[in-house]
Structure 1
Amino acid sequence: MSLASRLVERVLRLPPPITRDLVVERDLKVPMPDGTVLLADRWAPRTGGKGLPTALMRSPYGRRGVLALGSVRPLAERGYQVLVQSVRGGFGSGGTFDPMRQERADGLATLDWLVAQPWCGESVVLFGTSYLGYVQWAVADSLPPQVKAMIPHMTESALTLEFLRKDGMSLQTPFGWGYMVAKQERPFAMVRQPLELKKLRSALDTLPLADADVAALGHRSDYLQAILSHDADDPYWAAADHRDRVTATTVPVSSVGGWYDIFLPGQLRDFRALQEAGLPARLTVGPWTHTSPDNTVFTEALGFGLAHARGEEPPERAPVRLFVTGEERWRDFESWPPKGYEPRRFHLQPGGALATATPEPSAPDTYRYDPGDPTPAVGGVAMPPGAGRVDNTGLEARADVLTYTTPVLEADVEVIGEVHAEIHFRSSLRHADVFVRLCDVDSKGRSTNVCDGLTSLTRADEVTLASVRLWPTAHRFERGHRIRVQVSSGAFPRYARNPGTGEPLATAVELRVADQEVRHDPEHPSALILPVEAADRPA
């Protein structure tokens, strides 16, 4: 294990450990109020571990393997003892796994058990990524006094709801996650992953989508059926929504996110709620996707988390630290969104131009969208390989993608904050989607995606103002570059393809081709609205 420990230390650029000599207590039994028993492992230094601050991690992905090597061991070697627990229904824990909907009661019972253990000591820090961060929010308003800090990483308090919006259902992320957890306990699951990704991608083409779980797994999946049957507003997901607990938390929170992370909008919403409520919180957002390896979360665990666990003040820094892409530099701010950035409209123009001026009278631009050959998702926000910043040349060459580009910039344009678009749109069908992507075109003509978003329309056969919320960003368009906007009608399989019929996505089998119009004239000033640095922005 010493070699593996040193490799992780090098890859994640971690400080040297206090010790590499650890002891692991396996399969500790944690009773739940209903009699179900969940299993946990305790990692601690072989000597002096009792009474150290305890990092609690509750996981649906098991307690060993990559999680143990890449997250648990680094903390146990550097000042913590760590309790990693398998949530209900997985990896030896009793009961049935019902994703997102059972973590509050089990999390509270686990905390009660933990603080009663003789080895626990007086301080607990909640720590973890993705689902392991989400379970922190599930208990955030009812923490025992021993809990001193929360460090949620790449996560948010309403984990599923962004993907299941009525006005733009994500497909690849919730379906891919459900597929992964359904197969993760099978032998050689990690080795088979590349083949599994290919099988999953094929399954997402299934019509109707309600049969995609059988195509992928060979059997029905309650979770995959649920995401197709219950949208974000359905009471079915009420137990998974912990947004109302955010401002009731009693401990400092350090959130770590990524510009290309699947949970970024919700994570920024949670941080803003904390900050507006005057609660102690800080935010770090880097140039990462959901699965990018980075050491920032460990920096926060060792600096922020341990300091609070010991009753000390963490190292001083600004409340908000953002990596500004384009500039490729970390910058500090006092809030999210930062002050000193004002909305500026970049209007779509005839001839594929983009400018701040109101467009002249002009005919609409048109394209044909065929859900049988859907506009593909290229880079951007996703979990699988290929996410993040990529070359968009191939995508922009498609006939079903429109582009609008500024002249070469004579000065830098810095954009930090929330991004949205207003597209005056009309379709030959009543039901259609509008996908908008912001790109940075460099001096060699390479177009790289910055952020994007999609919305679904239900009266698209009339001229409709489509309001599209893109992912937030912090990006500098350098002098000599150009700003580009893409408009299309899909990004499959990141988003479910719109069949154009109005049928429920779960049961639709007919795919209709649509002729789309994007209008840009004085009466229909389609635009991308960017938060641009003001001339008098505070230094």
Structure 2
Amino acid sequence: MKKIFLAALLGVFLLHSCSSKKNKKDAYVVENYTKQEVNITMRDGVKLHTTIYSPKDTSKEYPILMQRTPYSSAPYGKGKLKTKIGPNVHLMKEGNIIVYQDVRGRWMSEGVYDNMRAYIPNKKENESDEVSDTYDTIDWLVKNVENNNGNVGTWGISYPGHYATISAIDAHPALKAASPQACIGDFFFDDFHHNGAFLLSYFRAISLFGTYKDTPTDAAWYSFPEMNTQDQYQFFLDKGPLKNLNEFFQYDKLDVNGEASKDKIDDFFWKEITEHPNYDSVWQSKGIIQHMNKVPSSVATMVVGGWFDAEDLYGPLETYKGIEKHGKDNYNTLVFGPWDHGRWASSVTKNYVGNYYFGDSISLNFQKEIETKFFNHFLKGKGDKNSGLPEAYVFDSGKKEWKSYNSWPPKNVVKEDWFLSENQELTSAKKSTEKINFISDIKRPVPYSEDIKTVFTPRKYMTDDQRFAARRPDVLVFETDVLTEDYTLAGDILAKLKVATTGSAADWIVKVIDVHPSDLATDKENDKLQDHLKMSNYHLMVRSEVMRGRFRNSFEFPEPFTPNKKTDVNIKLQDVFHTFKKGHKLQIQVQSTWFPLIDLNPQTYVDNIYKAAKKDFKTQTHTVFTDSSIEFSVLK
């Protein structure tokens, strides 16, 4: 259970229990499937541990549905089966051959793990990458697994979603359908970084990816840092510069007897992060969205994501757009709902993100009406482009309803600019250019949440009430008058800031907020909320993003600010689909710290923030000019 629990903590919302308890509800797999474990040899000789669940009914042939994962294909051993298999219960009960594989260097597979292992476009003989590992696995499965119909589909959420994307590149001819879900696209923009800013709140997850091993194991070989507090804000504030966290990422080296020696081993992922602060060749080589031109039209794709996914919002949006750009003949669809990370795989009826309620049976309906139909059409059905599913099936998080479009963003979207005016106004026309100053105090950074807790990876903040931030002097607030008609955003948002700072470095954070009416009653579904979280005047965060200011012109070649010089900083916020309803207000918040979601910028330029000293951190005064604007994609 520990292995699955740890994977879930990282953000992979798993339905697949490894419990050995057998009751009537969980007996379906045991009663209807047989399990075999095999080691499949890759072209370079490395063997990958693979678990195959085959229907006991051998009177017909079945497609193969495969998930490749770094999070373990447990339970291991004869007679030990998962209680739920496949993408959802419908695909499990309809009958499919379900395959799980530990990727290279993880758990029971041989080899050494490389985090976001780089794709090699033109491989030489016996060269391997995740693309070839997937190809070789599929080739073995269709040739050796009995009763398969020759059609393969792949799926996965988060890191397994990344491997589903990988499967579609230079794909095996048997691969007919791939569903990358919350898929990582590039580690400089997903999960551990946002636009070059380090997600400090993820630091406990580093060891899950960076603890070295070179032999197969069915037990966890990594451990997580102990914070010994429930107040993560104070913990990181007390720790100070990032280099003070190095102590958490050195592990004992074992001698030949398995005993700890005097030598230490560095966490290779932490070392990679701290030694490569810029978007250099290391990160560029690991990105996968740059290779969407290698997805053949023979593979149908359905990219799935959540509008409130704190971990992987960039990846699925950019994966879908990349395939659209390069694959004019591809069947490529997008599904985005009101979910946080992987919540579409949930079996719960009430769909919340944090405190905010979006409706009933949203995930269950997706599984039955969208996901199951997609795989059945391409693996069991005609497999043509007439799947009966929309090109874009997206949830309006303001109106709380699904919409279908022939493209994403919809064709009837126009760009509109709103300006950050004085007196906290967000206006459709630019007024005079004024300066608005605030002090960014490194000893009192703006928190990302008002909750006092320690979390493994944060999620709830994506829909948190933002009133606590709006009432701080170091958070600038700009909002419209009460809207007299609905206003729908559909697509990306570009913040075009004009700023200055007394220092030579700064981060810039922009948040888009839906301010609910003061007389809005809290409905019965939100009865669980505490008094201070009632819906009256609730400040729902619709979208937010950070830009590490040094990367404003190039992620590869950072540069300092010239003190007190007016400077352009553009921030692309990921897509939204949200209606600001009549009677609501649209609000923009601008700030310079977001702690400890992201690490604290020294506000003095240093070449590598991971090596900054305490003396480099200085309180500065920042300026936002009122000719700054926000460009929205507005549905007409």
Shift of 1:517: 1.1
Change (3 A) 1:430 1:188: closer
| Contact 2:202/2:457, CA 8 A, preserved across alignment | no
SS, match of residue 153 in structure 2: strand
Q: 1:487, CA displacement in angstroms? A: 0.5
- The normalised TM-score by structure 1 is 0.86
Unaligned runs of 5+ in 1: 10-16, 535-539
Residue 269 of structure 1: which of 307, 310, 318 is its match? Answer: 318
Inter-partner Cα distance in structure 2 for 1:375 and 1:110: 48
Q: Match for residue 288 of structure 1?
A: 339
CA distance in 2: counterparts of 1:196 and 1:76, whole angstroms: 42
Instruction: Please name the residue that 1:106 is paired with.
Output: 133
In structure 2, the CA distance between the partners of 1:77 and 1:409, relative to structure 1 (3 Å rule), is same
**CA distance, structure 2, for counterparts of residue 519 and residue 497 of structure 1:** 23
Structure 2 vs 1, CA of residues 287 and 254 (structure 1 numbering), >3 Å: closer, same or farther?
Answer: same
Asked whether the 8 Å contact 2:168–2:175 carries over to 1, the reply is no
Cα shift readout 1:371-393 (whole Å, capped 9, x = no counterpart): 3332222399x943424311111
Mapped to 1, the partners of 2:546 and 2:139 lie a distance apart of 43
Equivalent position SS for 2:139: helix
1:235 aligned to 2:281?
A: yes
Contact 2:138 2:152 in 1 (8 A): no
| Paired position in structure 2 for 1:507 | 611
| Structure 2 letter corresponding to 1:386 | K
Distance 1:199 1:217, change over 3 A: farther
**Residue among 50, 55, 60 paired with 1:45:** 55
C-alpha separation in 2, matches of 1:196 and 1:336: 45
Q: Aligned to 1:360, which of 420, 432, 436? A: 432
Match of 2:175?
147
Q: For 1:365, what is the secondary structure of its paired residue?
A: strand
Conserved 8 A contact 1:243-1:270: yes
Question: Percent identity at matched positions?
Answer: 22
**Alpha-carbon distance in 2 for matches of 1:58, 1:92:** 13
Alignment of 1:5-84 (within 5 A): 21-48=31-58, 51-64=61-74, 68-69=82-83, 71-72=85-86, 74=89, 75-84=91-100
Q: Assess if the C-alpha contact under 8 Å between 2:504 and 2:562 holds in 1.
A: yes
| 296-305 vs 439-448, greater mean Cα deviation | 296-305
Match of 2:624 among 499, 518, 530: 518
Counterpart in the other structure of 1:398: 472
Given that 1:341 and 1:531 are in contact with CA atoms closer than 8 Å, whether structure 2 keeps it comes out as: yes
Instruction: Give the corresponding residue for 2:561.
Output: 459
Instruction: Give secondary structure in 2 for the equivalent of 1:133.
Output: helix
Tell me what 2:530 maps to.
none
On the 8 A contact 1:86/1:93 being kept in 2, the answer is yes
Paired residues of 1:129 and 1:155 also in contact (CA < 8 A): yes
Distance 2:272 2:96 in 1: 38
Matches of 1:118 and 1:430, distance apart in 2: 61
Give the 3-state SS of the residue equivalent to 2:609 in structure 1: coil
Q: CA deviation at 1:346?
A: 1.3
In 2, are the aligned partners of 1:24 and 1:41 still within 8 Å (CA)?
no
1:498 aligned residue:
601
- Equivalent residue, structure 1, for 2:257: none
* Alpha-carbon separation, structure 1, partners of 2:374 and 2:145: 25
Aligned to 2:112: 96
Higher mean C-alpha displacement, 415-424 vs 394-403: 394-403
Per-residue CA deviation, residues 96-116 of structure 1 (Å, 9 max, x unaligned), is 222111523322322232222
Output one character per residue of 1:304-332: Cα deviation in whole Å (capped at 9) or x when no partner: 11211124256413200110111110011
Distance 2:278 2:32 in 1: 44
1:310 to 364, 368, 380: 380
State how far apart, in whole Å, the 1-side matches of 2:635 and 2:482 are: 18
Aligned positions of 1:150-299 closer than 5 A: 150-162=178-190, 168-172=196-200, 175-181=203-209, 206-215=239-248, 220-231=266-277, 233-250=279-296, 251-261=299-309, 262-276=311-325, 277-278=327-328, 279-292=330-343, 293=346, 294-295=363-364, 296=366, 299=369
- SS at the partner of 2:132? helix
Partner Cα separation in structure 1 for residue 622 and residue 169 of structure 2: 47
- Aligned residue type for 2:302: S
Residue 142 of structure 1 deviates from its aligned partner by 1.9
Rate the CA distance shift 1:143–1:167 in 2: closer, same or farther, 3 A: closer
Deviation at 1:201, TM superposition (A): 7.3
Q: Distance in 2 between matches of 1:212 and 1:425?
A: 31
Normalising to structure 2: TM-score of the pair?
0.74
CA 1:376–1:78: 2 relative to 1, 3 Å: farther
1:137 corresponds in structure 2 to 165
Alignment of 1:363-374 (within 5 A): 364-374=435-445
Corresponding position of 1:478: 581
CA displacement 1:177-216 (0-9 Å, x = unmatched): 42345689767999x9998996987775544424425336
Structure 2 counterpart of 1:398, which letter?
Answer: R
C-alpha deviation, 1:20, in angstroms: 6.6
Shift of 1:161: 4.5
The CA RMSD over aligned residues, in Å, is 3.4
Partner residue in 1 for 2:121: none
Q: 1:316 to 1:396 in 2, by over 3 A?
A: same
Range with greater deviation from structure 2 (506-515 or 222-231):
222-231
- What SS does structure 2 have at the residue aligned with 1:467? strand
Q: For residues 329-379 of structure 1, what are the alpha-carbon distances to aligned partners after superposition, in whole Å with 9 as ceiling and x for unaligned?
A: 0011111111112111111111111111212354x2221112333222239
Amino acid at match of 1:255: V
* Contact 2:182 2:315 (8 Å CA) reproduced: no
Q: 1:475 to 1:161 in 2, by over 3 A?
A: closer
Worse-matched range after superposition: 125-134 or 242-251: 242-251
- Measure, in 1, the Cα distance between the counterparts of 2:46 and 2:567: 53
Larger CA deviation: 177-186 vs 44-53 = 177-186
CA separation of 1:497/1:92 partners in 2, compared to 1, >3 Å: closer, same or farther? same
Rounded Cα–Cα distance in structure 2 between residues aligned with 1:304 and 1:197: 45
